[in-house]
Amino acid sequence: MTLPQRLHEQIAAAGGWLPFDRFMATALYEPGLGYYAGGRRKFGAMPSEGSDFVTAPEMSPLFGRALARQVAQALAHSGCRDVVEFGAGSGALAAQLIAELDALGAGLACYRIVELSAELRERQRERLAAWGDRVEWLDELPAALEAVVVGNEVLDAMPVQLLAFDGQVWRERGVVSAGQAFAFEDRDSPLRPPLLDPGQGGFAPGTVTEIHRQGEAFIATLARTLRRGAAFFIDYGFPEAEYYHPQRRGGTLMCHQAHRADADPLVSVGDKDITAHVNFTGIALAGQDAGFAVLGYTTQAHFLLNCGIAALLAEASLAERAMAHRLLAEHEMGELFKVIGFAPQDAAFEAMGFERGDRSHRL
């Protein structure tokens, strides 16, 4: 069975209309068929490598080395000895963190990876084989956790619901079968964006946007699970007022294939990534409501500089500096990507990554 056939089956079983979040979940994660379950390389610097996009750890090892300093501080403060990474991709970040944490003498005992993709898990095993049984894989979040948690470009890949505004009412956008292809169809729904009055004349007719119930539920579950430690998530996105700005009429849904971006998730299904920017206000509130304290929220550039990447750059070659510059440049990843940190409410601390440039007041 192909992935499109599986989706047409799901649509028929659902009465002819499938909410977009369920379509996205199947397109990305259906065992043996979904994008992340397939054999494409996905992660890489150039399309000639057969990859679809590049993430910060593939771009420069200085990303993981700088992040390791924040992780080391959190390990020391909490007394934990384990790190848990969600969605470890190619394993590049895990390799960088383990090596640097060992170099820093951070006392790392075990590095655990929660990975849904069996195919990516095998690639990670190959890349991390040097650390033997210090690296473990988990199928799901444990019932109780004492660790420092990291997630790079994880939240953006969690399925989102789509809402469409016709000038009078909001409707939920789902997917229907159109012969062998797929098409969007809007249906009545009680769902609404969290910011119903964005100002400046309100939402324009034709506006499409996303809500992030699954990502927020994940953070809430993590808050109830993490008994000791901290959590840091790096992703592209905005606070709520920017996310639902009336000029952002088309939403943020985006697909990536061969290092090209497009906004149509209904074609080449299974052959390209589907993502949405993160509403960091919703993520912060979900964490707080479930017992987390927000340690800080800032741009990737500020976070990495606070974690000492400037000193690492000074020791790097010119080629290494050029690649690492993309992590910091405002027109590259430095401004669009943000970092948010959490800790249990009774164990908050002054996290070094947010020492300067904290934007928590904008959430």
| pLDDT tens track for 249-306 | 999 999 999 879 999 999 999 999 999 999 999 999 999 999 999 999 999 999 999 9
Q: What is the pLDDT of residue 150?
A: 98
Q: In the structure, what pLDDT confidence band is assigned to residue 118 with cuts at 50, 70 and 90? A: confident
Integer-rounded Cα Rg, in Å, for the chain is: 20
The H or E element containing residue 145 is strand 145-152
Q: What is the pLDDT of residue 252?
A: 97
Give, in order, the Cα–Cα distances in Å from 351 to each of 19, 89, 151, 222.
39, 26, 17, 19
Q: Going by DSSP bridges, is the β-strand pair 292-299/278-279 parallel, antiparallel, or unpaired?
A: unpaired
What total of structural domains would you count in the chain? 1
Give, in order, the Cα–Cα distances in Å from 130 to each of 98, 133, 139, 309.
11, 9, 22, 26
Secondary-structure percent of the chain, ordered helix, strand, coil, rounded to 5: 40, 25, 35
Report the predicted TM-score, pTM, of the whole model to 2 decimal places. 0.95
Instruction: Please answer whether residues 82 and 113 qualify as being in contact, where contact means their C-beta atoms are separated by less than 8 angstroms.
Output: no
Q: In the structure, what pLDDT confidence band is assigned to residue 337 with cuts at 50, 70 and 90? A: very high
Q: In the structure, what pLDDT confidence band is assigned to residue 231 with cuts at 50, 70 and 90? A: very high
Q: What is the mean pLDDT of residues 175-195?
A: 96
Q: In the structure, what pLDDT confidence band is assigned to residue 100 with cuts at 50, 70 and 90? A: very high
> Which residues, 6 or more positions from 291, have their beta carbon under 8 angstroms from its beta carbon?
223, 224, 344, 345
Q: What is the pLDDT of residue 211?
A: 97
User: What is the domain extent for residue 65?
Assistant: 3-357
- Of 283, 302, 292, 289, residue with least CA distance to 237: 283
Calculate the average pLDDT of the chain.
94
- Of 284, 304, 308, 309, residue with least CA distance to 296: 284
Residue found under tokens 């898990």:
121
Do the domain assignments include residue 363? no
Q: In the structure, what pLDDT confidence band is assigned to residue 41 with cuts at 50, 70 and 90? A: low
Do the domain assignments include residue 211? yes
Instruction: Please answer whether residues 284 and 39 qualify as being in contact, where contact means their C-beta atoms are separated by less than 8 angstroms.
Output: no
Q: What is the mean pLDDT of residues 304-315?
A: 96
Domain of 353, CATH number, reads: 3.40.50.12710
Q: Which amino acid is at 242?
A: E
Q: What is the mean pLDDT of residues 47-74?
A: 86
Residue 333 CB burial class (10 angstroms; 0-12, 13-18, ≥19) = buried
Q: In the structure, what pLDDT confidence band is assigned to residue 196 with cuts at 50, 70 and 90? A: confident
Q: In the structure, what pLDDT confidence band is assigned to residue 198 with cuts at 50, 70 and 90? A: confident
Q: In the structure, what pLDDT confidence band is assigned to residue 342 with cuts at 50, 70 and 90? A: very high
Q: What is the pLDDT of residue 202?
A: 83
- Report CA torsion sign: 64, 67, 71, 72: positive
Number of residues assigned to the chain: 363
Do the domain assignments include residue 362? no
pLDDT at 235 over 90: yes
Q: What is the pLDDT of residue 253?
A: 97
Do the domain assignments include residue 160? yes
Q: In the structure, what pLDDT confidence band is assigned to residue 52 with cuts at 50, 70 and 90? A: low
Instruction: Please answer whether residues 340 and 232 qualify as being in contact, where contact means their C-beta atoms are separated by less than 8 angstroms.
Output: yes
pLDDT at 163 over 90: yes
> Of 44-58, 141-155, 271-285, where does mean pLDDT reach its minimum?
44-58
